[in-house]
Structure 1
Amino acid sequence: MKIQKIFWLCFFILIFGCDPLVLESDIRVLVNGKVLDNDGTPIANAEILVYANKGGGLPTPSELDKKMLGHNFSDTQGNFSVTSVLARDDEFTVEVKATEEYSLYVYQTNTLEYVPSDLVFSVPTITLSKLSNITFNITKTSSEENTLYYNFKYIANYCVEVYDEETLNVNQSLCEVDQQFIGHLDANDTGETGDFKVPLGSVVQFTSRINDEPNHIEIFTVNQEDYVFEFSY
């Protein structure tokens, strides 16, 4: 079994490559910036994480993949600075997150060949969106044996900005991305309840279909921090 695991590890390294992370431990870089909310109010105590080896998963990697390089918090004015070891990595990453009431921000750049001459990464001013928690209640009121198919389409609660040196790469960045939550209820189901988070003030589209009937679409604006959506069929 151990030999088999080694074989597969070598196989994946051969096929996909496995460039080791290069840490230049004798070089320090500074990451600084400012974090605000939608109203332009500074966010204090936002957590700032600097790491390399992003690995899998969006918007954040697994703890097994990433290599932590630096860590700090924003001050009362929303300003932050983190001193970090220089890592030569194609996804040198800065993650900014406050409480669960706010969206997540991720900054990425390629340090394999580029590092600022002054060793300072100045992250553009970050805006974390306030979030609303949507609770949905879907209830079957009909006695007929209907099957319901439904989905919620909404804006994701994170923003990933990718920079080529100091220029934003719009094509690779992931901000205001549409997401979908899909589900269905069989004939014997009586309903379903769930929840998800979206930026406050954003628009959500709810699409439903009973059996083979045409789709029914409802669009609503999330204008409360705790929003309840009710649907019956």
Structure 2
Amino acid sequence: MAQLKIILRRFVLFLLFTLLIACETRFEDNTRILVKGSVKDQYDLAIQNAQINVYTSRVTSFLGGEQEFLLGSGFSDSNGEFSVVSLFDKDEDFSVEIDAGPNHSKYVYKTSTINYEPTNLTFDLGNRILLELTAVNYTIYRISEEGNNIQYSFRFTSEFCSEVYNEGVLNIEDSQCNTQQFLNGALNDSTPDIEGDFYAPTGTEVVFIYSVNEAPESTETFIVENNSNNEFVFSY
């Protein structure tokens, strides 16, 4: 019996060791890639210190859970140019993210590298545009009697751009770049007033669509100005 326990204990230890080895995350050995390009805003001004991160994701458990791994990272220089040397991974969810902080839109490059390697192991992203963002503060309040209600929606340009590439060719159908975004709401007796904010690219148009007491929709438009006083106030 004692010998059987020893054998079982050794078997369990061997099994645990095998599982640890199987779960170890390994990337392409002795392979490095170069991710390069430049980043500017919509006014053709270089953006300095934008962070460029290279990611991959892997299944990390037998239950199918995925984890994101950072393969490489760097920053754009005073001319907006960047050149990042990174590890490489064969994966369906290989991506490069460019983030210049809350005052600019974000950009993501996505591709599958399972059967694709770029020429000279270089991902040339070219010139990427990160839109300058400005906060829009809004206030909607009721001045009419109780029982009146409003349904509303703000339509504005999204601050996010995600481009999907198939073997170096842009897949337009799967990409979403600065599309139209909606912020919807409804006010009534329980909540007659609201204050809030959202970010939109400077110089773009915001459309406010509303209907009071289920009447036909009406619209108002305004341009997001390059300042901190983008205040939209509406009463019903």
* 1:22 to partner: Cα distance: 6.3
**Pair member with larger Rg:** 2
1:103-138 alpha-carbon deviations (Å, 9 max, x no partner): 101111220100023111111211111111110010
CA distance, structure 2, for counterparts of residue 184 and residue 21 of structure 1: 48
Whole-angstrom CA distance in 2 between matches of 1:117 and 1:182: 45
Report the alpha carbon displacement of residue 229 of structure 1 after superposing the two structures with TM. 0.6
Match of 1:231 in 2: 234
Partner of 2:118: 116
Which structure 2 residue ranges, 5 or more long, are not aligned?
1-23, 60-65
State the match for 1:81 in structure 2. Answer: 83
Whether the 8 Å CA contact 1:22–1:88 is kept in 2: the answer is no
Deviation per residue, 1:159-179 (Å, 9 max, x gap): 111112222221211112111
Shift of 1:25: 3.2
Asked whether the 8 Å contact 1:159–1:175 carries over to 2, the reply is yes
**CA drift at 1:54:** 8.9
CA contact (8 A) 2:149 2:192 kept: no
Q: Any residues of structure 2 matched to 1:67-216 within 5 Å, and which?
A: 67-216=69-218
How has the CA–CA distance of structure 1 residues 197 and 182 changed in structure 2, closer, same or farther, with 3 Å as cutoff?
A: same
Alignment of 1:51 with 2:55, yes or no, is yes
Q: By how many angstroms is 1:84 displaced?
A: 1.3
TM-score (norm 1): 0.83
Quote the residue 1:217 is aligned against: 219
Match of 1:32 among 13, 31, 36: 36
The DSSP-based 3-state class of the residue aligned with 2:144 is coil
CA RMSD of aligned residues (A): 2.0
Q: Are the equivalent residues in 1 in contact too, given 2:150–2:214 (CA < 8 A)?
A: no
What TM-score comes out, normalization by structure 2 length?
A: 0.82
Do 1:205 and 1:220's aligned partners in 2 also have CA atoms closer than 8 Å? Answer: yes
Assess if the C-alpha contact under 8 Å between 1:21 and 1:53 holds in 2.
no
Report deviation, 1:214.
Answer: 1.4
Q: Identity of counterpart residues, as a percentage?
A: 36
